[in-house]
Chain A
Amino acid sequence: MDRASRVERRRRFLAEAGIGLLALAGVAGCGRREADPLASVRPEPAAAEAARTEPVTPPAERTPEPFDPPALADLDRTATWIDRPVRDGLVLLREEQGREPAVATVAEALALANDSPAANATILAALGRLPEPGQADLGARVDRHVTGDLGSTNPIMISTSAEFDILGLTGFGLFSFDRRLEPFATSDTVASWQTSTDGLVDKVVLRDDLVWSDGKPITAHDIAFTYRVIMDPRVPVPAVRSGTDQLRWVHAYDDRTIVFFHREPLATNVWNINFPVLPRHVYDATWEADPTLKDSPEHVALEQAPVVGGPYEIVERQRGQQIVLRRRESWSTVRGKQVREPPFFKEVRFRIVEDPNTTLLALKSGEIDEMVLLPEQWTTQTKGPDFYDRNTKVTAPEWVSFHFGWNIDTPFFADRRVRRAMTYAFDHDAMLSRLCYGLYEPAAGPFHHTSWMAPRKKPEPSKQDLDKAEALLDEAGWVDHDNDGVRDKQINGRPVPFEFTILVNQQPLRVAICTLLKENLDQIGVRVNVRPTESTVLQQLTQEKKFQAYLGGWGAGTDPDTTENVWATGAGRNFIGYSNPEVDRLFAEGRRELDRAKRAEKYARIQEILHDDQPYTWLYWRNSFYGFSKSLRGYVFSPRGPYHYSPGFASLWTPRQD
């Protein structure tokens, strides 16, 4: 091994260790989304939760070969351009809300206790509305909650959910998507967006009134530069390289024109062109000397006070305690003229609290204005006046699902009948009603039943049936031959008892679910050892396929293609070793199919195949449960929660006190 690659490997190790620490900080939070090492998707800079399970693939595959972009005049001559949407998420939402009739007044909604779906709908409808002109207090501050500190303030190092929360407000981006996950270019930054009819080129013209927080203009060269940095194998980019690596090249023709060249016309190209942007004038001179982007003195200083292009800038950072963002006036006012709507909050303060009980106390005492509630907290600790005095709570579906993953490379789970037996043996009803307080919906496949890619016929939720489970195990040859109470089977001439270990993160609810599985399987002669594991260790063991079964979760990506790396043969996050040529083929076809309805059929078929194969035992969809201060308005939920889309957090506001 040559020296360069050793150095690279060490750097990557360091980078991953850094992420590991952050994940650890999340664990103790027990249940915030950051605590889900396995609830992750491919990142979209404006959104996306922790993509820290993204394995770092060998750099060799990543480096783009040199590319000689055609002259812009040639490109314009040969390509036929189609205009693509350039929108403002806030305007879209306002139009949408303008069409909805008012259900209840704000006062009525604030007086309600959220104890029924009807009350929940009323609260969401009345308090989710955007302000009338002059209604919002533009000098207000909001105190948000995150469970872990930032690993880095550099937007291309984004990885954990806290980083998406915070850097999403300070970062500069060209693209976003609405709450139906429909992509568009944001009119705040983009003047026009065109795609060639062959789907191989995207051309974006930036607005000319964009400046970094240090006053220098934001240009197309910054974007082309960032692409080169992200794709440089020496830079330890944890998450955003995935997707970006599908691009052929990114070229800046002048200060405002940026062109993205694709390798293939894919349905996912629209997501691949969406990556965070660095200021070239700041990093150009320093990044080659220190590709980690955090070790050299210049980079350490930048880490403390980054130059940002988004609506907020970081003004204070107390490690492990809080991060304060302030509205950047140079975002909305350029050259003495207001060119964009300023965001509603003057200051956003992120409080870092790990323990969920402490967090709830902070919410009740008004120290923070919002938090994610656990099912137990939602049901038992937010009913009384101590909660409703200052706060209210809402719930909405979210596309985050949890599952038991069965390692198909072990002698136990190679057989489909065994995996189905596991699903039949598990007491799904007890889990949903007793452990999850009846708050989560049953899951039976990778795609949420309200999403466009799910089969039109909702899959039947699984039910416990021990008779079927025993019959399937008998059929698969797992019978208690030696009368020791445990089923066994001759494998390579040796009897192997059916005893396996299931890995689970230390969150009490998940441990309880695994304990329930143990109890259920114990009844039919299968022994389970539940092993609560610190989440970075869990992540490492699953990635290295050193496990027999685990409990984990995935958040939904913006596009069904993001699940390919979970199911395709040999894919990076296919921890369980699943392989089905038909699924591989359907994913490849789905990516190339540009017609939404035909694509949906492919993914629906994938879901059916997976349901038959049961490589996972799907457990539940974890919905969003949020507590909000009564002073907050404008929260609207997407399948990815209330923040991680456009407008997302930008739609929240506080009424003016008159």
Chain B
Amino acid sequence: MKRSPPPEKGDSHHVPVAGGDTAPATGRGLQTNGDCHLFPRSTGFWAEAWRRFRRRKLALAAVAFIGGLVLTALLAPAIAGTKPVLCRYKGRIYAPCLGYFRRDLEPAIFTKDRFRGTYPRNLAEKDPESWAVWPLVFQDPSRSVRADEWPGEPANPARDEGRPSRRNLFGTDQAGVDVFAKMVHGTTIALLVGFVSMGIAGSIGIVMGALGGYCGGWVDILTSRITEIVMCIPTLVLILAVIAVIEKPTIWHTMAIIGATGWTGIARLTRGEFLRLKGAEFVLAARAAGAGPVRIMLRHILPNALAPVLVPITFGIASAVLLESSLSFLGFGAPPPTASWGSILNDARGNLAMWWLVVFPGAAIFLTVLAYNLIGEALQEATDPRLREARK
């Protein structure tokens, strides 16, 4: 796992920094503003990594898949919903679909005057001049579509009768809620959980690891012990306990806890990298040039230590997605009727004959976790020179 920097490529470890305090890592006695044309500038470390990453078709497909998920999450209200994306009503233009992101972004005019959030008929009846741009699929992620809500269309089938059909692409659950709409809107949670929780874990882990690794001594002892203590906390149990205690548990609490307990592996890796790099020549040079410890840590060591740290973060995202799904499966996820992939699986538990409640969310979770793992693996190989050598 440890990457030993080839001395002649010292420059590639070093993100070029503006300013004269950047000592060349080669230590060949060149001036700091030495002529670059003497040595043809090698491609940067990250450019090199990207070049190697690009070679892996599966990893690229995985990146594209995650990108697609991000797009789906952002455009969810335009893909499936019962609120117009854009509409003109009584002389003004509104975007009621934003209500899917935040309830209070939906204009109040659509809750008054017995409008009752039912758009298709009310728009036409209350303002014949109105027009609306509708989402691609007229289905709601939190409720069943009522009979004749969209003129001429029947109500969603409920109980165990909601097989996939033209109206309900992925079928409906027992209460008649469209599974496709639920999955499209559930993408947000699946993505957020991974990024937010690992964002938190990454920040904590890198700070702890950097401090411990660079400072050494009692700081190192302290951070290492804290890391060991946090490793002992069972995340699932903690989440269940916190959900029971707080007044209004939301998905953000879950993410915060996953983040606050999932940083230990990252901290240990970062500490190892910092321990290794703090003796490197370029650090010595930076120190000799008068750079303070914070500057050395952030600008000199961190960029070089980041690559191995990114790998556990990527795998962490995958496991956070799985953890959220299992929580929802157990009924401790986002409060209902917030759609989440795991909660659809939970609905399937009551009646396994409704295969569409298992197959679609199951496949989505599987593919997402697979994608993150492929990206993680590719990242590892692209940034680890020893693996790179082995591949050749």
Seen from chain A, the residues whose Cβ lies within 8 Å of a Cβ on chain B are 356-357, 374, 376, 379-381, 430, 434-435, 437, 466-467, 470, 480, 483-486, 501, 506, 508, 511-512, 514-516, 518-519, 522-525, 527, 529-534, 537
Contact = CB atoms under 8 A, between A and B. Distances in A.
Interface in B159-207: 159-160, 174-176
B280 interface: no
25 contacts: A357-B352, A376-B160, A376-B174, A376-B351, A380-B159, A380-B351, A430-B144, A434-B158, A434-B159, A434-B176, A435-B158, A467-B114, A483-B108, A484-B104, A485-B107, A485-B110, A501-B247, A508-B347, A512-B174, A515-B337, A523-B111, A523-B117, A523-B118, A531-B249, A532-B331
B175 A516 contact: yes
B112 interface: yes
A514 B142 CA distance: 12
Given A357-B349, A376-B350, A529-B335, 15 more contacts: A357-B352, A376-B174, A380-B351, A434-B158, A480-B112, A484-B104, A486-B111, A508-B174, A515-B175, A515-B337, A519-B142, A523-B116, A529-B248, A533-B244, A537-B244
Contacts of A519: 142-143, 337
A527 B110 CA distance: 15
Interface string B232-270: 000000000000100111000000000000000000000
B103 interface: yes
Nearest to A375: B159
Given A376-B174, A530-B337, A531-B249, A434 B144 contact: yes
B353 interface: yes
Nearest to A31: B350
Interface in B275-306: none
Contacts of B353: 380-381
Interface of B: 103-104, 106-108, 110-112, 114, 116-118, 142-144, 158-160, 174-176, 244, 247-249, 331, 335-337, 346-347, 349-353
B142 to A, nearest CB: 7
Contacts of A484: 104, 108
A506 B249 contact: no
Nearest to B247: A501
Top 3 closest pairs, chain A to chain B, by CB? A523-B116, A485-B108, A434-B158
A514 B346 CA distance: 17
Contact of A506 (B111, B117, B331): B331
Given A508-B346, A531-B248, A532-B336, A434 B175 contact: yes
A350 B327 CA distance: 31
A480 B352 contact: no
A512 B144 CA distance: 11
Q: Identify the interface centre among B110, B116, B350, B352: most chain A CB within 10 Å of its CB.
A: B350
A437 B103 contact: no
B346 A485 contact: no
Nearest to A430: B144
B175 A435 contact: yes
Contact of A515 (B114, B336, B349, B352): B336
A336 to B, nearest CB: 55
Contact of A480 (B103, B108, B174, B337): B108
A511 B142 contact: no
A129 B84 CA distance: 62
Nearest to A523: B116
A305 B86 CA distance: 72
A380 B160 contact: yes
Given A485-B107, A515-B336, A525-B112, A534 B244 contact: yes
A92 B107 CA distance: 67
A530 B336 contact: yes
Contacts of A532: 331, 335-336
Contacts of A511: 331, 336
Nearest to A533: B244
Contacts of A523: 111, 116-118
A522 B336 contact: no
Contacts of A533: 244
A508 B335 CA distance: 12
Contacts of B336: 511, 514-515, 530, 532
A435 B347 CA distance: 13
A470 B335 contact: no
B149 to A, nearest CB: 12
Contacts of B117: 522-523
Contacts of B335: 529-532
Contacts of B107: 485
Contacts of B351: 376, 380-381
Nearest to A374: B350
A523 B349 CA distance: 30
Contacts of B249: 531
A484 B112 CA distance: 10
B248 A518 contact: no
A374 B335 CA distance: 23
Nearest to B159: A437
Contacts of B160: 376, 379-380
A512 B331 CA distance: 12
A511 B349 CA distance: 15
B143 to A, nearest CB: 4
Contacts of B106: 485
A484 B102 CA distance: 12
A532 B141 CA distance: 19
A484 B249 CA distance: 24
Contacts of B176: 434
Contacts of A376: 159-160, 174, 350-351
A480 B118 CA distance: 18
Contacts of B174: 376, 435, 508, 512
Nearest to A435: B175
A470 B114 contact: yes
Nearest to B347: A508
A357 B346 CA distance: 12
Contacts of B158: 434-435
A379 B158 CA distance: 13
A485 B109 CA distance: 7
Nearest to A534: B244
B350 A357 contact: yes
Contacts of A480: 108, 111-112
A437 B142 CA distance: 20
A519 B146 CA distance: 12
B111 A515 contact: no
A470 B114 CA distance: 8
Q: Identify the interface centre among A356, A518, A519: most chain B CB within 10 Å of its CB.
A: A519
Contacts of B110: 485
Contacts of B111: 480, 485-486, 523-525
Contacts of B143: 515, 519
A427 to B, nearest CB: 10
A79 to B, nearest CB: 55
Contacts of A515: 142-143, 175, 336-337
A10 to B, nearest CB: 21
A446 B100 CA distance: 39
Contacts of B103: 485, 527
A512 B175 contact: yes
A62 B285 CA distance: 82
Nearest to B160: A380
A501 B250 CA distance: 13
